[in-house]
Structure 1
């Protein structure tokens, strides 16, 4: 089976279950109907479910039986991811009107309700971790890692760097730091969550977190490239905005060919990290390696 087929089979197994779980659990997430509607609108709008899939892939790699508690804990990251998208689309941020081929939350519900829907999703994601039913030490470790990834030294810090440096070209190290926080931190956490749940030994976990960081970098570079080379119909959102708004991107800094070379380097770094993890754990990393086909499809 090819790597692409391995990933496709895993997605076919788990994406419907993730979507069904989100649908079921969010039916009565608030006693305010408009808030429930706004939350469900954004969370259930589609998407690759990449982050919970990465967590579940780590659990699968280490032969962890995925119980309802593991599913709840692993899916919480999607709530946080959706919060970040709602706020990222706001007029004060990127001012996007299209997300996944549909009107963005603030276009559909107004800025006030969109902001509050994002505000609600953030603590709800922590509630799901805390109420998962996993061992208390596992929950505590996840909550701490989640807070670090999404807080003032993680995702929010990256968003601040993004908005405050628009129109000011960053150096490559600064650009990498921006995206390590804004995009990479939540991907890092998604892998870390699986490592914590499966209680993976420290030396193996270190290599897989290197994989996560290289994956996060590749993800951002690839997204920047698609913004230059794709159409809105293909991506389900506005394209060619970054250059017009003088955003810091890899094609803007390195040129398209330079960005493509950087993408290859990031993918190679992820492959090297997986090889190290495989040697240290004496386990195949086939499934996690299959996720790298995301950048070649």
Structure 2
């Protein structure tokens, strides 16, 4: 199979599931046990972190490492870095669902964290997951990572999670809900930070841990940028057309909150074209990496078939 992403989809699905299983094991390893005091906060952390998400972000960390260094590059340090990314992603979902933010009662097919544990505990659970992520990254040298690389990886994730990334995008997203004027370019800027920044961190973290050169990092960064764009457009489309049971959360919530989305701005058909164009850019960005990037190419193409 070549890096155009075409081939036996079942083979790449199996590869995805194998990497996702490794991420789940790593999450189990880094999360405090449910009986470790104070047990209630650890129960809340585990409730959301182990809720059965797709684990796409940690898989991207490991797939990027494998692209650069082969299967043996998916080391214990890479798996723990992948778990750290999922901890950050889960914290963001818990906080997004709060009444002060998106006010969603369901996540991943189960009641949202604040519905089960209360708002105060949900805030603390999110805070604890974010803190734990950087504790995990600080310990990567004990798992074989070069200390300088571990530091660079922690910086990648911190930047993606902060005001230049996820949080900054969320701030502008909240402003837009409250009536700030928004066109497609500004909306895409929000998406590049709120959604895309973490995808870029994923591939750059995995690549750095596997010893990537500047050319490889450049190609993978371009891939992740386009990947994040396609992912968010499809996410917006699914909020209009998706099946609630498959999504694991209510559909139509964006419209009910008055949230600006790509389909809302340009219509469903153009939104689908924009998603397809971003996917093609993602795949084309992998050309310098050749067949090594076939799994990443498949992951990009699979976005257009997402149902959840």
Give the TM-score normalised by the residue count of structure 2.
0.91
What CA deviation, in whole Å up to 9, does each residue of 1:258-292 have, x standing for no partner? 100110110111111111343xxxx5321111102
Instruction: Kindly indicate whether residue 45 of structure 2 is the aligned counterpart of residue 39 of structure 1.
Output: yes
Q: Can you give the 5+ residue segments of structure 1 that lack an aligned partner in the other structure? A: none
For residues 80 and 260 of structure 2, what CA distance do their matches in structure 1 show? 35
Give the one of 256, 262, 275 matched to 1:250: 262
Q: Which residue of 1 aligns with 2:57?
A: 51
Instruction: Kindly indicate whether residue 66 of structure 2 is the aligned counterpart of residue 60 of structure 1.
Output: yes
Instruction: Kindly indicate whether residue 248 of structure 2 is the aligned counterpart of residue 236 of structure 1.
Output: yes
Instruction: Kindly indicate whether residue 165 of structure 2 is the aligned counterpart of residue 154 of structure 1.
Output: yes
User: How much is the aligned-residue C-alpha RMSD, in angstroms?
Assistant: 1.5
| Preserved CA contact (<8 Å) 2:113 2:122 | yes
What CA deviation, in whole Å up to 9, does each residue of 1:160-214 have, x standing for no partner? 0111111445111100110000011101100110121112111221111000000
SS in 2 for 1:152: coil
For residues 185 and 22 of structure 1, what CA distance do their matches in structure 2 show? 21
For residues 67 and 92 of structure 2, what CA distance do their matches in structure 1 show? 28
For residues 187 and 78 of structure 2, what CA distance do their matches in structure 1 show? 34
Give every structure 1 segment of 4 or more consecutive aligned residues whose post-TM-superposition deviation is greater than 3 Å: 27-30
Give the one of 148, 153, 159 matched to 1:142: 153
Matches within 5 A, 1:251-266: 251-266=263-278
SS in 1 for 2:292: coil
Instruction: Kindly indicate whether residue 206 of structure 2 is the aligned counterpart of residue 201 of structure 1.
Output: no
Instruction: Kindly indicate whether residue 180 of structure 2 is the aligned counterpart of residue 172 of structure 1.
Output: no
Residues 105 and 251 of structure 1: is their aligned pair in 2 closer, same or farther, counting only changes over 3 Å?
same
| Preserved CA contact (<8 Å) 1:6 1:287 | no
What CA deviation, in whole Å up to 9, does each residue of 1:95-136 have, x standing for no partner? 000001100000000000000000111111011111122110
For residues 50 and 72 of structure 1, what CA distance do their matches in structure 2 show? 15
1:3 Cα deviation from its structure 2 partner: 5.2
SS in 1 for 2:267: helix
| Preserved CA contact (<8 Å) 2:30 2:136 | no
For residues 82 and 268 of structure 1, what CA distance do their matches in structure 2 show? 28
Instruction: Kindly indicate whether residue 230 of structure 2 is the aligned counterpart of residue 225 of structure 1.
Output: no
Instruction: Kindly indicate whether residue 282 of structure 2 is the aligned counterpart of residue 276 of structure 1.
Output: no
Q: Can you give the 5+ residue segments of structure 2 that lack an aligned partner in the other structure? A: 2-6
| Preserved CA contact (<8 Å) 1:3 1:290 | no
